[in-house]
Structure 1
Amino acid sequence: MRQDILNDDSLTFAEKIISIRAEGSEKVHHPGEITVLPADMAMAQDSTGPLAIKVFDEMGVPKVWDPSRIHLVIDHTFPAADEKVANLHHMMRDFAKKHGVRLVEGSISHQHLLENHIVPGMVLFGADSHTCQGGAVGAFATGIGSSEMAAVWASGKLWVKVPESLKVNLTGQFKKGIYARDVISHFIGMVGEDGGNYKSIEWKGHAVQALSMSSRACISNNSMECGCKLSVFEVDPATQEYFRSVNRKPMYEVHAGTKARYKDEYDIDLDKLEPKVAEPGNVDKVKAVEEVEGTPIDEAFIGSSTNGRYEDLLVAAKVLKGHKINSGTRCIV
């Protein structure tokens, strides 16, 4: 590891971690440059895994690069809803058995990896756009396509272009009824659905200290809705305490330099933030809840990889306690 790069005060998180981890490189990599990153972990789920398996088989590669680093997760349609999906699940089980890779069924892929495998400094490629959730703990975690995943399975590495970086400063304090989802929805409303295209988002500011690991995961996970490549919270005392509690050690603690240059910087004052909701149609059609108050709701879904953690379910339970679901509304948890 190049300690001089790790200590370089002029580099962003993305520039540092790519320069440190790049294959056979002894140079600093800047935005727009292309290099090759070795993978520490590769994940595909049941919507993307079958195509990756098909491409891998067509490549004629006899075995995967490292079975212990490959995870297949059946989570998007579990249990299988019909015969077609059941056959896709069968394909994944056969591939896992043949190559000895890890197979997980019924657990949300991003949360499973975060709770059991991801550590700071790791390079994770996932055939799912929400893979950037791993950035919540200071990992290089990004989504790729199925054919790219097949290439990772075969070689253990993948080319990447160094992204430009955005800096988001969080200030103020969370008011009652304001949560991490309001933060990321507000940000997406600010920049638009393509405002973070192939960018690395760094979340900064003293208010970050008030965010739990679950809240950071929520923000990093949903950041892909504005097109980001990475969405990162750097390691801090809360991160360190979390990994002590789960008995896992970081690979590297990567921190952006104080003189790092960003494509754009944004400020979000939590004191002024109101509860947010994205209207149907586009993720950036974000409004304050009070603007749409009274709108009939046909179906409410509580869960997903973005908001399906205990912290989220507890908030929902407190809101619903003592009430009944409206007779015209379906509520799914």
Structure 2
Amino acid sequence: MKTGNALYKAETGKAKDDLFARIGEFLWEQRLSPDPQHYAFAYRVMTEAQGPFGQTVAKLTDGGVRLSRADIEKLGGAVAMDAASQQAARAKSDGLVAQTQMQVEGFTDMVQAMRIETEDFGRDLAASADAMRDTGLGTDEVVRLTGAMLDRVRSAESRLEAATHEASELRAKLEEARDNARRDPLTDLPNRRAFEEAFKTQSANGAALCVAVCDVDHFKSVNDRFGHAVGDRVLKAIAEALSTACSGHMVARYGGEEFAILFTGTDRATALATLEGARITVAAKRYRLRESDEPLGAVTFSAGLTQGAEGESLGTVFGRADKLLYAAKHAGRNQLQIG
């Protein structure tokens, strides 16, 4: 028979094992590596499940939604980047910085050389002019100096053309890097950062704005039944359908299976009709597994749509649309809620 102390230890050990298991499950569901930052965040989620923090996380992850990097950071957590990603990002950044520095140094050297050559030509030409005044001769020397200077100018023009071409290539690489930082690699849609910047810009310009938040219904079950490769293909299909239906407006992958749409210069009724058309199109499709041709069935999404008032921040407008999305989920999914 176990003593009270032994029973306490057994129960405590069981509770710790259960907590550890739940932390591991949370990390796996959120596709977070077992780094100390992620573990600390998951530990807080599990131990404060009934508090405001835990309830906020539960709301964000309802229906199998995965937390985005911004969600975790906003909640006070930190997202670790794997070593390979860190090395690749650092190498790309260092490479662009080095290229930029070399380009600037090259232009500086070229301008300096052209300045020196121009000064030399001016000095030699002035000396020849003095000689002509003194002796009435020196024409041949002036011709020689002029020809030499023309050769130098042609050489400088050639170097400048090459440097300009290199600068154009570098500018294109920098633009590509800037674009990649604002684009989702899976769907090729703008990401959350790009969406936030676009809202800020359009709002500052006084444009009429509507925001929709869309979430794929029962997405976790797709991943659980068919695997994440199929889940990724579903996300790409939804992204394409939304982009086609909402052409002319920004469709972004906001995080996980959540998409956001920024309707610009459109009233709420028009935005609703557009989004409803997208919902009907998506719900009517019947997907099949590429490998086995097995039916995947219907894939649907729910959405909340709201119109932004003048001066409202994205946090306010998005929060309102997000609440409407959850209302659509609780009302049975595969529908839109407006407010």
Same-fold call, TM cutoff 0.5: no
Larger proportion of strand = 1
Larger proportion of helix = 2
**TM-score between both structures, scaled by the size of structure 1:** 0.25
**TM-score between both structures, scaled by the size of structure 2:** 0.24
| Larger relative contact order, structure 1 or 2 (CA cutoff 8 Å, min sep 6) | 1
Which structure's CA Rg is the greater one?
2
